[in-house]
Amino acid sequence: SPRAEMAPNLGVPPHFMAPFLPRDPKCPEPPRVSCAHPSVPAVAAALYLWLVQGRAGPEALGLLQPLLAHLEQHLARSGTSHLAGVSEGALGVGMGWMSPAGQGWPQLCELQVLRSWFGAVSALEPCRAAAALLPEALRELRAHLAQHPPHLPSPPREPQVRPRPGGEGGAQVGTAPLTGCPQQDEESPERACAHAQPRCASHASMPGVPSPDGRCCRYSRLRGWNTLFVCGTDEYGTATETRALQEGLSPRQLCDRYHALHADIYAWFRISFDHFGRTTTPQQTSIAQDIFQRLLARGFLLQDTLEQLRCERCGRYLADRFVEGTCPSCGYGEARGDQCDRCGKLINAVELQNPQCKLCRGTPVVTPTQHLFLDLPKLEGRLEAWLERTWAAGEWTANARHITRTWLRDGLKPRCITRDLTWGTPVPLDGFRDKVFYVWFDAPIGYLSITANYTEHWERWWKNPQQVELYNFMAKDNVPFHSVVFPCSLLGADDNYTLVNHLIATEYLNYEDGKFSKSRGVGVFGDMAKDTGIPADVWRFYLLYLRPEGQDSAFCWADLMLKNNSELLNNLGNFINRAGMFVCKFFGGTVPAMALTAEDQRLLARVTLEMRQYHQLMERVRLRDALRCVLGISRHGNQYIQVNEPWKRIKGDDRDRQRAGTVTGVAVNLAATLAALLQPFVPGISAAIQAQLRIPPERCGLGPGLTCTLPAGHRVGTVSPLFQKLEPEQVEALRQRFGGGQVSGGSGAPQSALNFTLGTCSPIPPLPIPSAKGNLVRQLKAAQAEKAQVEAQVAKLLELKRQLALAEGRSPEVPKGKRKK
């Protein structure tokens, strides 16, 4: 840190300490890596470009220029040949070691002082001795970077006019961003987020509600990046036709009803779509048919005979999802006609063994019919070239890459894009006008048509890959259609379409020790969540806390209670409430003056590190881990308050009262920072914190580092608790209600049953229970045991209580009356 004499090596942001420390005009701010790509250490990115990609010119230098410029200023100002201290250290030797034989950085820059420093350091004996190891070390480093490439920043883009949908009357074009989105930095890309569309004729499932992309979009808007967030109901297909028949409605009536249902659920969960649309629109027909015509004109469509299952009893061809049988690959007995849920293989319905019509349970017969196919083998080369470029620069989850590689490894095959239905986008080709597009050719085009219903300038988003970065979010079973089929359609159409840059796919979320099943009444679904009495933000928090990012996870009622009571109530809520209450109770509702000590600076340094990690994880869409960083900051705050005890110091002398003011001021500023960090995850709670602390709107944004949001003299409002405790009886009743017969017993089930569920469903270790140890201590005292024996068991009891407090997010306290004098 350039202000080492005031904040030695703590990493405390100068803009936070500015209210407390004198400004040194000779000391510039330390360089910061652009938080548009905070996950990229500049040196790692530059080394990747140099060693792996062989790009050692201005492109690599551009990443290092801010850091090198700072070193140049430091060396010129200090008048020493050492980066730190009075002799060469590990940093100097390490950097000097990279410079021999013209392979280092000084040859790429015009910084004279730094160039001379590199020359001097490389002549030192440690560097000369290490030079012999350089070739082998570079080979190992190159291999490591090739296997673990850093997330590289996008290349600079020419400033362009940004799309901005206007009010209800239509859209406008100008330099202003989207409505509700602050103006972004010119070097930051436009961000389009598209969530996989839910089936219209079904209920919203809890695994997809609330959507992770909603958190990413809220984060992007907080950072001031121009962001578009769209989703909608997928309304065409046999599922809709059949459900409409069952309910005695037309497909349009059914879609109208379920679209409203989905929109209401997402609104309750505070999903911040710019537009929640649907696929049954004129824009959908126009765009889908245009892509089809372009594919046809360029020779990427085939005509062939398709053997299709037809149910004579129902008098109709059966769509894939209405055929069930045994998977020919893994033997799973409940495989659908388009995909096996066990092995994930895509299959044709006629390949199923022992097929059955799901509507009447009759045996369908194979009937030949003419259909159109997308020629995926012909597009395979284009797809592989695009994937190579995209994977080098984008964030794709491991399962998304694996599933896509599996498709390519097995070789792409022509994919049918038409169906013998009436409810769908009509095929505009003679001989096929009685058919409609297959839903997995048609549905992803809904992202484009939904945007077209939002703004007439939709092409500024969907035909602008030079400036727009596209994020897709989905469960892993939807990956092939978004990573292979849809990109091939757009590549073949050859109209400069925006293709996905970042594909985020989750694993499966299970329910207790089974699976969610609407038909069997197992699990709580989106339309049921409101009836549980649990606030939407608690649902948002818990579903994100156990988000299946790397492996399957399980929703567990007992674990929901534990996380609410420990993380939300005892950790997060406890800290924010105490910080605000101290201001109200001890300082009349006014933030006191602060005089930071080394202890305070250490706290701010820890928080700064957590915030840097938070930004890195959010940029990489590691949402679950980012949330844990927020909880870590709150935990640091609780420990800070507990150690400094402002409620005692306020009763002491002037020095103690000043210390109480500093601790309270720092704590309430951390609470204000948490309000911003929490906004993507629990927006309702974030808004409540902002209201209670009266944080001005202009200070509610989220910068790259820690800031003093509430300066001395700021008045806070009325502070009240943010969360309520969930009781075991309440949770057990909900578990019984949504168990679908999976659980036994009534609401009066013994506590041991609840603990068993927690032990089987939650990955955390069991909490220590001090009650048994307390009983043992009482028995020893009653039996007048030896004093040493009693004291040993008391010490063990206190340790158990300390562990339990830490596990619940509380700071351990020594009970009153037990303190040593």
pLDDT at 680: 93
161, part of any domain: no
* Structural contact between residues 615 and 701, judged by C-beta atoms closer than 8 angstroms: no
Indicate which CATH number applies to the domain containing 705: 1.10.730.10
* Structural contact between residues 366 and 350, judged by C-beta atoms closer than 8 angstroms: yes
DSSP 256-296: HHHHHHHHHHHHHTT---SEEEES-SHHHHHHHHHHHHHHH
Percentage of the chain beyond pLDDT 70 is: 68
Q: Verify that 705 and 754 share a domain, yes or no.
A: yes
Give the residue-averaged pLDDT of 266-270. 90
Beta strands in 482-541 (DSSP E): 502-506, 509-511
Give the residue-averaged pLDDT of 21-42. 37
pLDDT at 568: 96
> At 670, is the secondary structure helix, strand, or coil?
helix
Q: How far apart are CA 257 and CA 277, in angstroms?
A: 13
Higher model confidence: residue 214 or residue 201?
214
> At 606, is the secondary structure helix, strand, or coil?
helix
Average predicted confidence (pLDDT) for the chain: 77
Per-residue pLDDT reduced to its tens digit, 377-435: 999 999 999 999 999 999 999 999 999 999 999 899 999 999 888 899 999 999 999 99
Residue 704 has pLDDT above 60, yes or no: yes
Phi, psi for 238 (deg, rounded to 5): -65, -35
pLDDT at 817: 47
Q: Verify that 718 and 818 share a domain, yes or no.
A: no
Give the residue-averaged pLDDT of 198-212. 53
Q: Name residue 333's amino acid.
A: G
Which of 742, 687, 685, 739 is CA-nearest to residue 564? 685
pLDDT at 594: 95
Q: Verify that 749 and 681 share a domain, yes or no.
A: yes
643, part of any domain: yes
In the chain, the number of structural domains is 4
Q: Name residue 229's amino acid.
A: F
Q: How far apart are CA 266 and CA 385, in angstroms?
A: 37
Lowest mean pLDDT among 17-21, 162-166, 511-515, 574-578: 162-166
Q: Verify that 697 and 796 share a domain, yes or no.
A: no
Q: Distances from the Cα of 470 to the Cαs of 278, 460, 462, in angstroms?
A: 19, 13, 9
Going by pLDDT thresholds of 50, 70 and 90, the confidence category of residue 93 is very low
pLDDT at 608: 93
pLDDT at 70: 66
Q: Verify that 561 and 662 share a domain, yes or no.
A: yes
Indicate which CATH number applies to the domain containing 64: 1.20.1050
Q: Distances from the Cα of 20 to the Cαs of 109, 595, 600, 633, 667, in angstroms?
A: 37, 6, 12, 22, 15
Q: Verify that 615 and 576 share a domain, yes or no.
A: yes
Residue 189 has pLDDT above 60, yes or no: no
Which of 134, 100, 133, 139 is CA-nearest to residue 119? 100
248, part of any domain: no
Lowest mean pLDDT among 7-16, 369-378, 386-395, 599-608: 7-16
Look at the alpha carbons of 725, 727, 732, 737 in this order and tell me if their dihedral is positive or negative: negative
pLDDT at 73: 67
Query: What's the token pair of residue 100?
Result: 């021999």
Give the residue-averaged pLDDT of 533-539. 93
Give the residue-averaged pLDDT of 271-283. 93
* Structural contact between residues 550 and 402, judged by C-beta atoms closer than 8 angstroms: no
The total number of residues shown for the chain amounts to: 821
253, part of any domain: no
Of 127, 147, 167, the last residue of a domain is 147
Share in percent of the chain as helix, strand, coil (round to 5) = 50, 10, 40
Give the residue-averaged pLDDT of 229-256. 89
Going by pLDDT thresholds of 50, 70 and 90, the confidence category of residue 819 is very low
180, part of any domain: no
Of 85, 113, 147, the last residue of a domain is 147
User: Residue 41: which residues within 8 A CB-CB, separation 6 or more?
Assistant: 33, 150
Do strands 335-336 and 323-326 pair parallel, antiparallel, or not at all (unpaired)?
antiparallel
With 0-12 / 13-18 / 19 or more C-beta atoms within 10 angstroms meaning exposed / middle / buried, residue 748 is: exposed
Q: Verify that 703 and 727 share a domain, yes or no.
A: yes
pLDDT at 190: 73
Give the residue-averaged pLDDT of 93-100. 46
Give the residue-averaged pLDDT of 521-530. 79
Residue 611 has pLDDT above 90, yes or no: yes
Indicate which CATH number applies to the domain containing 346: 2.170.220.10
Indicate which CATH number applies to the domain containing 797: 1.10.287
Percentage of the chain beyond pLDDT 90 is: 45
Q: What is the DSSP letter of 568?
A: I
Q: Name residue 4's amino acid.
A: A
pLDDT at 224: 84
Give the residue-averaged pLDDT of 594-609. 94
Q: Verify that 761 and 772 share a domain, yes or no.
A: no
Q: Verify that 790 and 700 share a domain, yes or no.
A: no
Element (H, E) at 468: strand 468-475
Which of 726, 749, 363, 695 is CA-nearest to residue 573? 726
Per-residue pLDDT reduced to its tens digit, 329-357: 899 988 988 888 888 788 888 889 999 98
Going by pLDDT thresholds of 50, 70 and 90, the confidence category of residue 75 is low
CA-based diameter of the chain, in Å?
A: 99
Q: How many C-beta neighbours within 10 Å does residue 788 have?
A: 7
Q: How many C-beta neighbours within 10 Å does residue 647 have?
A: 16
* Structural contact between residues 42 and 731, judged by C-beta atoms closer than 8 angstroms: no
193, part of any domain: no
Which of 590, 669, 597, 607 is CA-nearest to residue 21? 597
Q: Name residue 453's amino acid.
A: N
Q: Is the pTM for the entire model greater than 0.75? A: no
257, part of any domain: no
Q: What is the DSSP letter of 457?
A: T
Q: How far is CA 771 from the centre of its chain?
A: 39
719, part of any domain: yes
Residue 6 has pLDDT above 50, yes or no: no
Which of 310, 311, 344 is CA-nearest to residue 327? 344
Q: How far apart are CA 712 and CA 692, in angstroms?
A: 17
pLDDT at 665: 97
Going by pLDDT thresholds of 50, 70 and 90, the confidence category of residue 303 is very high
Q: How far apart are CA 189 and CA 619, in angstroms?
A: 13
Going by pLDDT thresholds of 50, 70 and 90, the confidence category of residue 52 is low
Map tokens 């004291």 to a residue: 791
pLDDT at 23: 34
Q: Name residue 154's amino acid.
A: S
Domain residues for 814? 768-821
Nearest-10 Cα torsion for 669, 671, 672, 673: 90
DSSP 310-348: EETTTTEEPPGGGEEEE-TTT--TTEESSB-TTT--B--
pLDDT at 56: 54
Q: How far apart are CA 329 and CA 657, in angstroms?
A: 73
Long-range contact set of residues 7-12: C-beta below 8 Å, sequence gap at least 24: 7/601, 7/605, 10/601, 10/602, 10/604, 10/605, 11/605, 11/608, 11/609, 12/601, 12/604, 12/605, 12/608, 12/706
Give the residue-averaged pLDDT of 743-754. 33
Of 122, 147, 172, the last residue of a domain is 147
Q: How many C-beta neighbours within 10 Å does residue 365 have?
A: 11
Q: How far apart are CA 389 and CA 149, in angstroms?
A: 13
Q: How far apart are CA 346 and CA 352, in angstroms?
A: 11
Element (H, E) at 74: helix 58-78
User: Residue 163: which residues within 8 A CB-CB, separation 6 or more?
Assistant: 171, 173, 178, 190, 228, 455, 457, 458, 460, 461
Give the residue-averaged pLDDT of 708-719. 95
* Structural contact between residues 449 and 288, judged by C-beta atoms closer than 8 angstroms: yes
pLDDT at 786: 76
Query: What's the token pair of residue 600?
Result: 């305070």
pLDDT at 198: 65
Lowest mean pLDDT among 417-421, 550-554, 614-618, 780-784: 780-784
pLDDT at 599: 95
Q: Verify that 562 and 616 share a domain, yes or no.
A: yes
pLDDT at 575: 97
∠ CA 616-617-621, rounded to 5°: 125
Q: Verify that 672 and 613 share a domain, yes or no.
A: yes
Q: Verify that 614 and 706 share a domain, yes or no.
A: yes
Lowest mean pLDDT among 115-129, 312-326, 344-358, 399-413: 115-129
DSSP 404-453: HHHHHHH----EE-EES-SSSPBP-STT-TT-EE-HHHHGGGHHHHHHHH
* Structural contact between residues 504 and 548, judged by C-beta atoms closer than 8 angstroms: no
Going by pLDDT thresholds of 50, 70 and 90, the confidence category of residue 49 is low
With 0-12 / 13-18 / 19 or more C-beta atoms within 10 angstroms meaning exposed / middle / buried, residue 368 is: exposed
Look at the alpha carbons of 50, 51, 53, 54 in this order and tell me if their dihedral is positive or negative: positive
Per-residue pLDDT reduced to its tens digit, 651-679: 999 999 999 999 999 999 999 999 999 99
Q: How far apart are CA 525 and CA 203, in angstroms?
A: 7
Per-residue pLDDT reduced to its tens digit, 621-640: 899 999 999 999 999 999 99
Lowest mean pLDDT among 74-83, 348-357, 426-435, 529-538: 74-83
pLDDT at 62: 62
Higher model confidence: residue 32 or residue 462?
462
